[in-house]
Amino acid sequence: MNVGFIGTGNMGSNMARKVLGAGFNLWVFDIRKEAAQPLLKAGAKWADSPQAMARLCDVVLTSLPGPRDVEEVVFGKKGLSAGWRKGDICVDTSTNSPTTMRTIAARAKDFGVEVLDAPVSGGMTGAKEGSLTFMVGGSAAALAKVHTILEAMGKEIIHVGDSGCGDIAKLVNNTISISCTTLNAEAFVLGVKSGIDPAKLLDILKASTGSNRALDQYPRSVLIGDFGPHFKLSLACKDIRLALELAKDYNMELPVVANACAQQLFKAEAEGWGEMDHHTVIWLLEKAAGIQVRAKSG
């Protein structure tokens, strides 16, 4: 089977490598060809455009920053839709707007094409190890046809419901995990300001009821002062905005997220830290408190 992959950034490149390793004929495309060079050297083939890829591949996966990028790849000039054939399947693994994906899926039906929203959880580690969790919205029959492809990249493939439901599940997940990041930052600054060693505080929390998955990243990030982008602040802000938009669509309020967590994230983004890791949100609190949450060396 010919499989296409569009978007060979940090996540996409690792996911695509797993597809290639599973024995599929892999075609790749990225707006920066140099980003795809490692995959091309490993045996993947280059498609000159999404349109060309659609003509070559039965299934195309996308891993892109956000809704506008996905819309452009699908319906833009030389987009996938210009090369679609009846029976093709498009799988978007981005964290996307449910409304956007429902619109794309509805328009794709006019071409005889199935679209699945299949965002992932597990981060770069999961992408490298092939242990991602896929949350899939769309046709169960279409999912069955691409299941073996997704199995190359993930251990859990969960059909959530109709189109858009995969992205809804992902936004719920990220609302919780990103909010935990801001809460952890505030609590750690309080603890360190009050005299507790941050490494000891982490040990205590990991063994107590305050434990959460966001704390797993502290040893390689906050405690050693490494804020290189594992999950960019700009992407965290994008996901929170999408969650707030989803709540608005359903006439709901998210007071904790909107009034506390989101405001901290947006302030950090306004400082120009969007390309850094989302844990940079702690810098605002550290500056205000006059301390840094770092483990003692030696």
Chosen domain end from 132, 162, 192: 162
* Model pLDDT for residues 27-85, shown as the tens digit of each residue: 999 999 999 999 999 999 999 999 999 999 999 999 999 999 999 999 999 999 999 99
* Model pLDDT for residues 21-40, shown as the tens digit of each residue: 999 999 999 999 999 999 99
Rounded CA-CA distance 85/81 in Å is 9
Quick one: pLDDT band at residue 169, thresholds 50, 70, 90? Answer: very high
Chosen domain end from 137, 162, 187: 162
pLDDT at 56: 96
Which residue(s) pair with 45 in the sheet?
27
Instruction: Give yes or no: residues 191 and 61 share one domain.
Output: no
Average pLDDT over residues 116-130: 95
Specify the number of domains making up the chain.
Answer: 2
Instruction: Give yes or no: residues 138 and 52 share one domain.
Output: yes
pLDDT at 19: 98
Question: Is 63 within 8 Å of 93 (Cβ atoms)?
Answer: yes
Instruction: Give yes or no: residues 9 and 156 share one domain.
Output: yes
Instruction: Give yes or no: residues 210 and 144 share one domain.
Output: no
> Above 80 in pLDDT, residue 298?
no
pLDDT at 27: 98
> Above 70 in pLDDT, residue 263?
yes
Instruction: Give yes or no: residues 60 and 195 share one domain.
Output: no
Q: Name, in order, each residue with C-beta under 8 angstroms of 118's C-beta and a sequence gap of 6 or more.
A: 91, 92, 93, 134, 135, 136, 137, 138, 150, 166
Average pLDDT over residues 120-142: 96
- Which residue range(s) make up the domain with 184? 168-289
> Above 90 in pLDDT, residue 129?
yes
Instruction: Give yes or no: residues 138 and 157 share one domain.
Output: yes
Number of DSSP helices (H) and strands (E) in the chain, helices first: 13, 9
Query: Residue ranges of the alpha helices (H) in 92-219?
Result: 98-109, 123-129, 140-151, 165-193, 198-206
The label of the residue with tokens 């599940």 reads 169
**Residue 14 CA: distances (Å) to CA of 19, 162, 172, 238:** 9, 27, 24, 22
In a domain, 130, yes or no: yes
Instruction: Give yes or no: residues 66 and 180 share one domain.
Output: no
Share the mean pLDDT of the chain. 96
pTM > 0.85: yes
Instruction: Give yes or no: residues 33 and 157 share one domain.
Output: yes
In a domain, 242, yes or no: yes
Instruction: Give yes or no: residues 21 and 157 share one domain.
Output: yes
pLDDT at 296: 84
Rounded CA-CA distance 151/36 in Å is 22
Chosen domain end from 143, 162, 181: 162
User: What CATH number did the domain enclosing 98 receive?
Assistant: 3.40.50.720
Instruction: Give yes or no: residues 175 and 156 share one domain.
Output: no
Average pLDDT over residues 262-268: 97
In a domain, 297, yes or no: no
| Tokens standing for residue 136 | 């899939």
> Above 90 in pLDDT, residue 274?
yes
Question: Is 239 within 8 Å of 171 (Cβ atoms)?
Answer: yes
User: What CATH number did the domain enclosing 198 receive?
Assistant: 1.10.1040.10
pLDDT at 109: 97
Instruction: Give yes or no: residues 63 and 201 share one domain.
Output: no
* Model pLDDT for residues 175-224, shown as the tens digit of each residue: 999 999 999 999 999 999 999 999 999 999 999 999 999 999 999 999 99
- Reported for 173-177, long-range contacts at CB under 8 A and 24+ positions apart, including other chains, are 173/121, 173/135, 174/95, 174/236, 174/239, 174/240, 174/243, 175/239, 175/240, 175/243, 175/254, 175/257, 177/213, 177/214
Q: At 202, phi and psi to the nearest 5?
A: -60, -45
Average pLDDT over residues 76-101: 97
pLDDT at 236: 96
Closest CA to 238 of 128, 50, 100: 100
In a domain, 7, yes or no: yes
Max Cα–Cα distance, the chain, nearest Å: 65
Q: Which helix (H) or strand (E) holds 256?
A: helix 255-256
| Tokens standing for residue 121 | 């959880």
- Give yes or no: 155 in active site: no
Catalytic residue among 18, 170, 232, 238: 170
pLDDT at 288: 97
Instruction: Give yes or no: residues 155 and 200 share one domain.
Output: no
Q: Which helix (H) or strand (E) holds 241?
A: helix 233-249
Question: Is 26 within 8 Å of 53 (Cβ atoms)?
Answer: no
Closest CA to 236 of 189, 288, 275: 275
